[in-house]
Structure 1
Amino acid sequence: MAEEQQGQGSSDASSAGGPVAVDVSPGVVQPGLFPDDSVPDDLEGYRVPIACQVAGITYRQLDYWARTGLVQPTIRNAAGSGSQRLYSFKDILVLKIVKRLLDTGISLQNIRVAVEHLRKRGVEDLANITLFSDGATVYECTSPEEVVDLLQGGQGVFGIAVSGAMRELTGKIAEFPAERADEAEALPLHDELATRRRNRTRKIG
Protein backbone atom coordinates (compact mmCIF):
# COMPACT_ATOMS: atom_id res chain seq x y z
CA MET A 1 0.00 0.00 0.00
CA ALA A 2 1.23 3.47 -0.78
CA GLU A 3 2.39 5.51 2.17
CA GLU A 4 0.35 8.63 2.82
CA GLN A 5 2.07 11.80 4.00
CA GLN A 6 -0.25 14.43 5.43
CA GLY A 7 0.01 17.44 7.66
CA GLN A 8 -2.16 15.95 10.42
CA GLY A 9 -0.74 13.42 12.85
CA SER A 10 -2.61 10.24 13.77
CA SER A 11 -2.24 7.77 16.60
CA ASP A 12 -4.34 5.15 14.82
CA ALA A 13 -3.50 5.22 11.10
CA SER A 14 -5.85 2.43 10.07
CA SER A 15 -8.94 3.91 11.72
CA ALA A 16 -8.27 7.62 11.17
CA GLY A 17 -6.87 7.39 7.65
CA GLY A 18 -3.52 8.82 8.69
CA PRO A 19 0.01 7.87 7.61
CA VAL A 20 0.55 4.15 7.18
CA ALA A 21 3.99 2.86 8.15
CA VAL A 22 5.66 0.90 5.39
CA ASP A 23 8.77 -1.20 5.91
CA VAL A 24 10.91 -0.52 2.84
CA SER A 25 14.23 -2.30 2.51
CA PRO A 26 17.17 -0.33 1.06
CA GLY A 27 16.92 -0.36 -2.71
CA VAL A 28 19.55 -0.70 -5.39
CA VAL A 29 20.65 2.38 -7.31
CA GLN A 30 19.01 2.28 -10.72
CA PRO A 31 21.47 1.84 -13.61
CA GLY A 32 22.31 5.07 -15.39
CA LEU A 33 21.41 7.42 -12.55
CA PHE A 34 25.05 8.34 -11.98
CA PRO A 35 27.87 8.38 -14.59
CA ASP A 36 30.07 5.95 -12.66
CA ASP A 37 27.18 4.08 -10.96
CA SER A 38 28.26 5.40 -7.57
CA VAL A 39 26.29 7.40 -5.04
CA PRO A 40 27.38 11.08 -4.68
CA ASP A 41 29.89 11.79 -1.92
CA ASP A 42 28.13 12.85 1.29
CA LEU A 43 31.06 15.15 2.12
CA GLU A 44 30.82 17.15 -1.10
CA GLY A 45 28.57 20.16 -1.37
CA TYR A 46 27.61 23.01 -3.66
CA ARG A 47 27.35 26.71 -2.93
CA VAL A 48 24.08 28.64 -2.92
CA PRO A 49 24.24 30.04 -6.50
CA ILE A 50 24.79 26.53 -7.89
CA ALA A 51 22.05 25.00 -5.73
CA CYS A 52 19.58 27.66 -6.91
CA GLN A 53 20.46 27.28 -10.57
CA VAL A 54 20.38 23.49 -10.62
CA ALA A 55 17.21 23.18 -8.52
CA GLY A 56 15.45 25.90 -10.54
CA ILE A 57 14.63 28.13 -7.57
CA THR A 58 15.39 31.70 -6.53
CA TYR A 59 17.79 32.74 -3.79
CA ARG A 60 14.84 34.14 -1.84
CA GLN A 61 13.12 30.75 -1.88
CA LEU A 62 16.27 28.88 -0.86
CA ASP A 63 17.05 31.33 1.93
CA TYR A 64 13.50 31.25 3.29
CA TRP A 65 13.36 27.46 3.23
CA ALA A 66 16.71 27.28 5.04
CA ARG A 67 15.72 29.82 7.71
CA THR A 68 12.37 28.14 8.35
CA GLY A 69 13.90 24.67 8.49
CA LEU A 70 12.11 23.29 5.42
CA VAL A 71 15.31 22.40 3.56
CA GLN A 72 18.58 23.14 5.31
CA PRO A 73 22.05 22.39 3.95
CA THR A 74 23.46 19.23 5.52
CA ILE A 75 27.07 19.84 4.46
CA ARG A 76 27.54 23.27 6.00
CA ASN A 77 25.06 25.85 7.22
CA ALA A 78 25.69 29.59 7.38
CA ALA A 79 27.29 30.47 10.70
CA GLY A 80 28.04 34.15 10.91
CA SER A 81 29.38 36.72 8.49
CA GLY A 82 31.48 35.37 5.65
CA SER A 83 30.36 31.74 5.94
CA GLN A 84 28.80 29.94 3.00
CA ARG A 85 26.08 27.31 2.95
CA LEU A 86 26.98 24.07 1.22
CA TYR A 87 24.20 21.84 -0.12
CA SER A 88 24.68 18.13 -0.76
CA PHE A 89 23.40 16.32 -3.85
CA LYS A 90 20.49 14.99 -1.79
CA ASP A 91 19.70 18.48 -0.42
CA ILE A 92 19.45 19.87 -3.95
CA LEU A 93 17.32 16.91 -5.04
CA VAL A 94 14.89 17.69 -2.20
CA LEU A 95 14.91 21.39 -3.20
CA LYS A 96 13.97 20.34 -6.73
CA ILE A 97 11.14 18.14 -5.47
CA VAL A 98 9.83 20.89 -3.17
CA LYS A 99 9.75 23.30 -6.13
CA ARG A 100 7.72 20.83 -8.20
CA LEU A 101 5.28 20.19 -5.36
CA LEU A 102 4.81 23.92 -4.83
CA ASP A 103 4.20 24.43 -8.54
CA THR A 104 1.34 21.95 -8.36
CA GLY A 105 -0.36 23.78 -5.49
CA ILE A 106 0.59 21.59 -2.52
CA SER A 107 0.57 23.51 0.77
CA LEU A 108 3.85 24.15 2.58
CA GLN A 109 2.45 22.28 5.58
CA ASN A 110 2.06 19.05 3.63
CA ILE A 111 5.34 19.61 1.78
CA ARG A 112 7.10 19.97 5.12
CA VAL A 113 5.75 16.58 6.22
CA ALA A 114 6.87 15.00 2.95
CA VAL A 115 10.34 16.55 3.23
CA GLU A 116 10.77 15.22 6.77
CA HIS A 117 9.98 11.77 5.41
CA LEU A 118 12.38 12.09 2.47
CA ARG A 119 15.21 13.25 4.75
CA LYS A 120 15.19 9.87 6.48
CA ARG A 121 15.90 8.06 3.23
CA GLY A 122 19.26 7.54 1.61
CA VAL A 123 19.91 8.48 -2.01
CA GLU A 124 19.58 4.81 -2.99
CA ASP A 125 16.10 4.61 -1.45
CA LEU A 126 14.96 7.90 -2.97
CA ALA A 127 15.74 6.55 -6.44
CA ASN A 128 12.97 3.97 -6.02
CA ILE A 129 10.26 6.40 -4.90
CA THR A 130 7.45 7.97 -6.89
CA LEU A 131 5.46 10.77 -5.26
CA PHE A 132 1.80 11.23 -6.14
CA SER A 133 -0.63 13.89 -5.02
CA ASP A 134 -4.31 14.68 -5.33
CA GLY A 135 -3.59 18.35 -4.71
CA ALA A 136 -3.96 18.13 -0.93
CA THR A 137 -2.04 15.04 0.20
CA VAL A 138 1.29 13.60 -0.89
CA TYR A 139 1.55 9.82 -1.33
CA GLU A 140 4.74 7.80 -1.61
CA CYS A 141 4.93 4.69 -3.79
CA THR A 142 7.90 2.33 -3.84
CA SER A 143 6.64 -0.34 -6.26
CA PRO A 144 4.54 -0.61 -9.44
CA GLU A 145 1.86 -2.40 -7.44
CA GLU A 146 1.52 0.55 -5.08
CA VAL A 147 1.23 2.94 -8.04
CA VAL A 148 -1.58 0.86 -9.57
CA ASP A 149 -3.34 0.58 -6.21
CA LEU A 150 -3.16 4.33 -5.68
CA LEU A 151 -4.39 5.23 -9.16
CA GLN A 152 -7.26 2.75 -8.96
CA GLY A 153 -8.34 4.43 -5.74
CA GLY A 154 -8.48 7.75 -7.57
CA GLN A 155 -6.00 9.39 -5.21
CA GLY A 156 -3.20 10.23 -7.61
CA VAL A 157 -3.66 13.22 -9.91
CA PHE A 158 -0.03 13.81 -10.79
CA GLY A 159 3.21 12.07 -9.98
CA ILE A 160 6.90 12.83 -9.56
CA ALA A 161 9.33 10.00 -10.26
CA VAL A 162 12.25 10.81 -7.98
CA SER A 163 14.60 8.79 -10.19
CA GLY A 164 13.73 11.08 -13.12
CA ALA A 165 14.45 14.20 -11.07
CA MET A 166 17.66 12.57 -9.86
CA ARG A 167 18.80 11.74 -13.40
CA GLU A 168 18.07 15.30 -14.54
CA LEU A 169 19.94 16.71 -11.54
CA THR A 170 22.94 14.46 -12.14
CA GLY A 171 23.31 15.74 -15.69
CA LYS A 172 23.12 19.41 -14.66
CA ILE A 173 25.23 19.32 -11.52
CA ALA A 174 28.15 17.64 -13.27
CA GLU A 175 28.91 20.99 -14.92
CA PHE A 176 29.61 22.68 -11.59
CA PRO A 177 32.45 22.35 -9.07
CA ALA A 178 31.80 20.73 -5.71
CA GLU A 179 33.53 21.55 -2.43
CA ARG A 180 34.37 19.17 0.38
CA ALA A 181 32.98 19.84 3.83
CA ASP A 182 36.40 19.49 5.41
CA GLU A 183 37.96 22.18 3.23
CA ALA A 184 38.80 25.36 5.15
CA GLU A 185 36.87 28.41 3.99
CA ALA A 186 38.90 31.57 3.50
CA LEU A 187 37.68 34.64 5.36
CA PRO A 188 36.69 37.44 2.95
CA LEU A 189 39.03 40.43 2.96
CA HIS A 190 36.42 42.96 4.12
CA ASP A 191 35.52 40.76 7.09
CA GLU A 192 39.17 40.41 8.04
CA LEU A 193 39.67 44.18 7.90
CA ALA A 194 36.55 44.77 9.98
CA THR A 195 37.85 42.35 12.62
CA ARG A 196 41.18 44.18 12.74
CA ARG A 197 39.43 47.53 13.17
CA ARG A 198 37.32 46.19 16.04
CA ASN A 199 40.40 44.77 17.76
CA ARG A 200 42.27 48.06 17.33
CA THR A 201 39.33 49.98 18.78
CA ARG A 202 39.23 47.73 21.84
CA LYS A 203 42.95 48.28 22.46
CA ILE A 204 42.63 52.05 22.22
CA GLY A 205 39.66 52.13 24.58
Structure 2
Amino acid sequence: MLFSDDLPELDDEVGYRGPTACKAAGITYRQLDYWARTGLVEPSVRSAGGSGTQRLYGFRDILVLKVVKRLLDTGVSLQQIRGAIEVLRRRGVDDLAGITLMSDGASVYECTSSDEVIDLLQGGQGVFGIAVGKVWREVEGELSELPSERAEHDAPPARAGDELSARRAARLA
Protein backbone atom coordinates (compact mmCIF):
# COMPACT_ATOMS: atom_id res chain seq x y z
CA MET A 1 0.00 0.00 0.00
CA LEU A 2 1.53 3.30 -1.08
CA PHE A 3 -0.71 5.67 0.84
CA SER A 4 -1.92 5.35 4.41
CA ASP A 5 -3.12 7.68 7.16
CA ASP A 6 -3.22 5.50 10.28
CA LEU A 7 0.08 6.48 11.91
CA PRO A 8 0.51 7.24 15.63
CA GLU A 9 1.06 10.59 17.32
CA LEU A 10 4.69 11.53 18.04
CA ASP A 11 6.12 12.92 21.27
CA ASP A 12 8.35 15.90 20.35
CA GLU A 13 10.24 15.64 23.65
CA VAL A 14 11.52 12.10 23.05
CA GLY A 15 14.88 11.93 21.31
CA TYR A 16 17.50 9.46 20.25
CA ARG A 17 21.27 9.91 20.50
CA GLY A 18 23.43 9.83 17.40
CA PRO A 19 24.46 6.15 17.53
CA THR A 20 20.81 5.10 17.95
CA ALA A 21 19.74 7.34 15.05
CA CYS A 22 22.50 5.83 12.90
CA LYS A 23 21.43 2.29 13.68
CA ALA A 24 17.76 2.99 12.97
CA ALA A 25 18.51 4.85 9.71
CA GLY A 26 21.24 2.49 8.51
CA ILE A 27 23.91 5.19 8.18
CA THR A 28 27.36 5.81 9.63
CA TYR A 29 28.06 8.30 12.40
CA ARG A 30 30.30 10.20 9.99
CA GLN A 31 27.33 10.67 7.61
CA LEU A 32 25.10 11.77 10.49
CA ASP A 33 27.63 14.32 11.70
CA TYR A 34 28.26 15.70 8.20
CA TRP A 35 24.55 16.00 7.41
CA ALA A 36 23.95 17.80 10.74
CA ARG A 37 26.85 20.22 10.19
CA THR A 38 25.76 21.02 6.62
CA GLY A 39 22.10 21.46 7.59
CA LEU A 40 20.73 18.55 5.55
CA VAL A 41 19.17 16.84 8.58
CA GLU A 42 19.56 18.63 11.90
CA PRO A 43 18.40 17.23 15.25
CA SER A 44 15.06 18.71 16.24
CA VAL A 45 14.91 17.60 19.90
CA ARG A 46 18.29 18.95 21.02
CA SER A 47 21.22 20.22 18.98
CA ALA A 48 24.80 19.94 20.15
CA GLY A 49 25.61 22.90 22.36
CA GLY A 50 29.36 22.48 22.61
CA SER A 51 31.71 19.90 24.01
CA GLY A 52 30.04 17.22 26.10
CA THR A 53 26.49 17.74 24.85
CA GLN A 54 24.65 15.13 22.83
CA ARG A 55 22.45 15.77 19.84
CA LEU A 56 19.00 14.24 20.17
CA TYR A 57 17.16 13.30 17.01
CA GLY A 58 13.39 13.06 16.91
CA PHE A 59 11.44 10.33 15.15
CA ARG A 60 10.81 12.56 12.13
CA ASP A 61 14.54 13.35 11.88
CA ILE A 62 15.36 9.65 11.76
CA LEU A 63 12.64 9.08 9.19
CA VAL A 64 14.23 11.74 6.98
CA LEU A 65 17.71 10.23 7.56
CA LYS A 66 16.44 6.87 6.34
CA VAL A 67 14.81 8.45 3.26
CA VAL A 68 18.10 10.26 2.49
CA LYS A 69 19.96 6.95 2.79
CA ARG A 70 17.53 5.24 0.41
CA LEU A 71 17.87 8.04 -2.13
CA LEU A 72 21.68 7.89 -1.95
CA ASP A 73 21.60 4.11 -2.37
CA THR A 74 19.65 4.49 -5.62
CA GLY A 75 22.15 6.96 -7.09
CA VAL A 76 20.36 10.28 -6.53
CA SER A 77 22.81 13.16 -6.09
CA LEU A 78 23.08 14.92 -2.75
CA GLN A 79 21.97 18.14 -4.45
CA GLN A 80 18.73 16.50 -5.61
CA ILE A 81 18.26 14.96 -2.16
CA ARG A 82 18.51 18.41 -0.57
CA GLY A 83 15.60 19.50 -2.78
CA ALA A 84 13.55 16.47 -1.76
CA ILE A 85 14.27 17.10 1.91
CA GLU A 86 13.03 20.68 1.53
CA VAL A 87 9.71 19.24 0.33
CA LEU A 88 9.57 17.01 3.42
CA ARG A 89 10.43 19.93 5.73
CA ARG A 90 7.56 22.00 4.39
CA ARG A 91 5.11 19.23 5.28
CA GLY A 92 3.80 18.46 8.72
CA VAL A 93 4.40 15.07 10.32
CA ASP A 94 0.81 14.02 9.60
CA ASP A 95 1.30 14.52 5.85
CA LEU A 96 4.47 12.42 5.55
CA ALA A 97 2.63 9.10 5.53
CA GLY A 98 0.83 10.02 2.34
CA ILE A 99 3.91 10.86 0.27
CA THR A 100 5.65 8.60 -2.21
CA LEU A 101 8.92 10.00 -3.52
CA MET A 102 9.66 8.98 -7.11
CA SER A 103 12.87 9.58 -8.99
CA ASP A 104 14.25 9.12 -12.47
CA GLY A 105 17.79 9.33 -11.09
CA ALA A 106 18.07 13.03 -11.87
CA SER A 107 15.02 14.60 -10.23
CA VAL A 108 12.88 13.69 -7.23
CA TYR A 109 9.09 13.93 -7.56
CA GLU A 110 6.54 14.04 -4.76
CA CYS A 111 3.39 11.99 -5.30
CA THR A 112 0.44 12.16 -2.92
CA SER A 113 -1.95 9.81 -4.70
CA SER A 114 -1.88 6.60 -6.71
CA ASP A 115 -3.04 8.57 -9.75
CA GLU A 116 0.04 10.83 -9.57
CA VAL A 117 2.32 7.78 -9.43
CA ILE A 118 0.57 6.24 -12.44
CA ASP A 119 0.73 9.53 -14.39
CA LEU A 120 4.45 9.82 -13.66
CA LEU A 121 5.12 6.24 -14.77
CA GLN A 122 2.97 6.57 -17.92
CA GLY A 123 4.90 9.69 -18.88
CA GLY A 124 8.10 7.65 -18.95
CA GLN A 125 9.29 9.12 -15.68
CA GLY A 126 10.22 7.39 -12.47
CA VAL A 127 12.67 4.59 -11.94
CA PHE A 128 11.98 3.94 -8.28
CA GLY A 129 9.69 5.08 -5.50
CA ILE A 130 9.93 5.42 -1.75
CA ALA A 131 6.64 5.17 0.13
CA VAL A 132 7.38 7.32 3.18
CA GLY A 133 4.59 5.65 5.19
CA LYS A 134 6.37 2.29 4.80
CA VAL A 135 9.70 3.80 5.85
CA TRP A 136 7.86 5.33 8.84
CA ARG A 137 6.81 1.86 10.00
CA GLU A 138 10.34 0.48 9.51
CA VAL A 139 11.85 3.27 11.62
CA GLU A 140 9.14 2.80 14.24
CA GLY A 141 10.02 -0.91 14.48
CA GLU A 142 13.76 -0.24 14.72
CA LEU A 143 13.35 2.44 17.40
CA SER A 144 11.02 0.31 19.52
CA GLU A 145 14.03 -1.83 20.44
CA LEU A 146 16.52 1.03 20.92
CA PRO A 147 17.02 3.44 23.85
CA SER A 148 15.46 6.90 23.87
CA GLU A 149 15.50 9.77 26.32
CA ARG A 150 13.46 12.83 27.13
CA ALA A 151 14.85 16.19 26.16
CA GLU A 152 16.21 18.21 29.02
CA HIS A 153 16.92 21.64 27.70
CA ASP A 154 19.12 22.89 30.56
CA ALA A 155 21.84 20.26 30.81
CA PRO A 156 22.45 16.69 29.68
CA PRO A 157 21.17 14.15 32.21
CA ALA A 158 23.65 12.34 34.43
CA ARG A 159 23.61 8.61 33.84
CA ALA A 160 23.42 6.34 36.85
CA GLY A 161 26.91 5.16 37.73
CA ASP A 162 28.62 7.74 35.50
CA GLU A 163 30.79 9.74 37.90
CA LEU A 164 31.97 12.26 35.33
CA SER A 165 28.39 13.10 34.29
CA ALA A 166 27.38 13.45 37.95
CA ARG A 167 30.25 15.89 38.57
CA ARG A 168 29.33 17.97 35.52
CA ALA A 169 25.69 18.12 36.63
CA ALA A 170 26.71 19.15 40.16
CA ARG A 171 29.02 21.85 38.80
CA LEU A 172 26.25 23.26 36.58
CA ALA A 173 23.72 23.28 39.43
TM tier relative to shorter chain: 0.7 to 0.9
Q: Does 1:115 align with 2:71?
A: no
Q: CA deviation at 1:39?
A: 1.4
Structure 1 residue 63 corresponds to structure 2 residue 4: no
Q: Matched residue of 1:72: which SS?
A: coil
**Deviation of residue 126 (structure 1)?**
0.4
Structure 2 residue 126 is matched with structure 1 residue 156:
yes
CA distance in 2, matches of 1:186, 1:44: 13
1:56-95 matches, within 5 Å, as: 56-95=26-65
| Alpha-carbon offset, residue 186 of structure 1 | 3.6
Aligned to 1:13: none
The change in CA–CA distance for 1:103 and 1:123 in structure 2 (over 3 A counts) is: same
Structure 2 residues not aligned, in runs of 5+: none
Q: 2:5 aligns with which of 30, 46, 59?
A: 30
Matched residue, 1:43: 13
Flag structure 1 segments of 5+ consecutive residues without an equivalent: 1-27, 197-205
Give the CA deviation at 1:176. Answer: 1.8
Deviations 1:78-112 (A, max 9, x none): 11111000000000000000000001111111101
TM-score (norm 1): 0.73
Q: Which amino acid aligns with 1:137?
A: S
Aligned partner of 2:34: which letter?
Y
Which amino acid counterpart does residue 114 of structure 2 have in structure 1?
A: P
Aligned residues: 162
1:190 shift after superposition: 7.9
Asked whether the 8 Å contact 2:4–2:133 carries over to 1, the reply is no
Distance across 2 between alignment mates of 1:101 and 1:175: 25
1:29 is displaced (CA, Å) by 6.4
Runs of at least 4 residues off by over 3 Å: 190-193
Q: State the alpha-carbon separation in 2 of the partners of residues 88 and 56 from structure 1.
A: 16
